[in-house]
Amino acid sequence: MKKLACLGLILGAGFVSGGCIDEPERRIDFACADREVFVNFVSPMMERRCGTLDCHGHDQRPMRLFGELGLRHPQELNQTGGDSTTARELDANYRSVCSIEPEKTTNVALDPGGQSVNKLYLVRKARGQERHKGGKVFDPFDDADRCVVGWLRSDNPRAIREACQAALNKLPDTVELPEAPAP
Amino acid sequence: MVRGKFVSRTTWLALAGLVMAAGWPACDYDPVIQEAIEDLPPEDPDGPSEFHRAGQSCVDCHSAYYGADPDLAIGGTVYEQQSNGSLDPVEGVFVTIFDSAGASQKACTNSAGNFFVRLEDWEDAKFPLAVQVGNRYMRSLIGRDRSCAGCHELATQTKVNIDPTVDPSTGQSRTSAGAILVERSTIPIEEQCGLNPASASSSTTTSTGSGMGGSGGMMGSGGSGGGS
């Protein structure tokens, strides 16, 4: 009898815990800043500044970034230095950057122009305010910083494009970014 | 009772000492670099020299971690691809490395195609770095790896077998920029350097305040990374 009671208890616990696993109504929708702005302006800059093969363009690194001059997507057959960054790679970059801190990034996205952007790891690590293996790579308010922060804060796309283009122009292999949409 | 306590404390102290002693060397242990070193092919028949291990990651060993002499700030190998696809080392070409603070260093390739800058000659290099080899500029930056071969990995049969993107000649793939290539015939005279390997290999020059992007550095902020 005791054994049966134990078995019942175990099965009951199993049902309860199983019920906790799949509760679709508990899913949270995360938000992130504009995808088009990221793909057109921010990703090209981050690919070149952050996504080199020895930094975030590496299979074993967090915030993995794919790109023309760095790591290529494993489900495609491109080579480093070959074809332009593909749509699949840009999509992966967007998800990679947005998923570092989903909750905080959501708060930033829901508060355009807010100051909480300065608390994101993405920003703090690049500024050297948080431990970063690659050290300090942006100065606050420099072109690259304004490119990323402006996107996260949902600033005017034209200003974001201008900052990203200025940051790219300092690199050995610059690219001409597409025009920003009219306001 | 007192004696028992004393023995017990001594035993504990001895055990703690043993644990600390055993753990001390492990503090320096880096499994990633260690694995890279252990995966290196066997040493060249002539043994270590400035001509050895062409195309391999120099700074894994020539670093404070492993202690191979000398410590290197940066090192790599330059090749030319022949019409049959094979790679020949390129001797006597300048490799110029620009840092983010506006400083630069020139190194000259030796008969193995190897070039390097000693750490003592450039301890304060500010990453990211940009590189010119002969008349070619590297399109991307060096974020922090002081071994050029870290990103410019050559092909191996194992890699070719498992990765369809690997170019079996140059090693270029989805994870590697492949061999550092130049065309000898297009290298301008001012980018050529001593053809005596003994002098060429150790020839480095320094300059500051110029370089890609002009003075003040190409990146503005001057990264402080650079550990590999």
Q: Classify residue B224 by burial, with Cβ atoms within 10 Å: 0-12, 13-18, 19+.
A: middle
Selected residue with higher pLDDT from B15 and A3: B15
Question: What is the reported pLDDT for B13?
Answer: 67
3-state secondary structure at position A17: helix
On average, the pLDDT of chain A sits at 89
Whether the CB-CB separation of A49 and A137 falls below 8 Å is answered with yes
CB within 8 Å of chain A, chain B residues 162-201? 164-165, 167, 172-178
**Residue A62 predicted with pLDDT over 70:** yes
**Residue A27 predicted with pLDDT over 90:** no
For A52, which of B143, B172, B174 is closest by C-beta distance?
Answer: B143
Q: What whole-number distance in Å separates Cα of residue A36 and Cα of residue A20?
A: 36
Tokens of B74: 């940066």
**Residue A24 predicted with pLDDT over 70:** no
For B221, which of A74, A76, A136 is closest by C-beta distance?
Answer: A136
Residue B113 half-sphere exposure toward CB, CA atoms < 13 A: 23
Residue A138 at interface with chain B, using a CB cutoff of 8 Å: yes
pLDDT tens column, B178-220: 999 999 999 999 999 986 544 444 445 566 544 443 333 444 4
Whether the CB-CB separation of A132 and A126 falls below 8 Å is answered with yes
Residue B215 at interface with chain A, using a CB cutoff of 8 Å: no
Tokens of B28: 């320096």
Residue A125 at interface with chain B, using a CB cutoff of 8 Å: no
Tokens of B187: 């290298």
Q: What whole-number distance in Å separates Cα of residue A92 and Cα of residue A27?
A: 21
**Residue B143 predicted with pLDDT over 80:** yes
**Residue A16 predicted with pLDDT over 60:** no
Place of tokens 């996260």: A152
pLDDT tens column, B144-159: 999 999 999 999 999 9
pLDDT tens column, B36-76: 999 999 999 988 999 999 999 999 999 999 999 999 999 99
Torsion of CA B175, B176, B177, B180, to 10 degrees: 170
For B174, which of A49, A79, A136 is closest by C-beta distance?
Answer: A79
**Residue B169 predicted with pLDDT over 90:** yes
- The helix or strand, by DSSP H or E, that contains position B5, with its residue range, turns out to be helix B2-23
Give me the interface pTM, i.e. the ipTM. 0.82
Distance from CA of A28 to the nearest CA of B (A): 35
Q: How confident is the model at residue B32 (pLDDT cuts 50, 70, 90)?
A: confident
Tokens of A126: 């690049």
Whether the CB-CB separation of B135 and B187 falls below 8 Å is answered with yes
Q: What whole-number distance in Å separates Cα of residue B140 and Cα of residue B180?
A: 13
Tokens of B106: 């020139």
For the beta carbon of residue A118, count every other beta carbon within 10 angstroms. Answer: 15
CB within 8 Å of chain B, chain A residues 15-74? 48-50, 52-55, 58-59, 69-74
On average, the pLDDT of chain B sits at 83
Q: How confident is the model at residue A3 (pLDDT cuts 50, 70, 90)?
A: low
From A72, which residue of chain B is nearest by alpha-carbon distance?
B174
Q: Choose the mutation target among A53, A132, A143 for the interface with B, i.e. most B CBs under 10 Å.
A: A53
Q: What whole-number distance in Å separates Cα of residue B104 and Cα of residue B209?
A: 8
Residue B127 at interface with chain A, using a CB cutoff of 8 Å: yes
Range with the poorest average pLDDT among B7-16, B42-51, B66-75, B133-142? B7-16
Tokens of A55: 């930094």
Question: What is the reported pLDDT for B119?
Answer: 97
Question: What is the reported pLDDT for B85?
Answer: 95
CB spacing of A79 vs B144 below 8 angstroms: no
Q: What whole-number distance in Å separates Cα of residue B165 and Cα of residue B153?
A: 13
Residue B100 at interface with chain A, using a CB cutoff of 8 Å: no
Phi then psi for residue A73, to 5 deg, are -65, 135
DSSP state of A40: I
SS (H, E, C) B161-209: HHCCCCCCCCCCCCCCCCCEECCHHHCCHHHECCCCHHHHHCCEEEECC
Question: What is the reported pLDDT for B40?
Answer: 92
Domain coordinates in residue numbering, chain B: 31-207
**Residue B16 predicted with pLDDT over 70:** no
CB spacing of B151 vs A53 below 8 angstroms: yes
Question: What is the reported pLDDT for A146?
Answer: 98
Q: Tell me what percent of chain B is helix, strand and coil, each rounded to the nearest 5.
A: 25, 20, 55
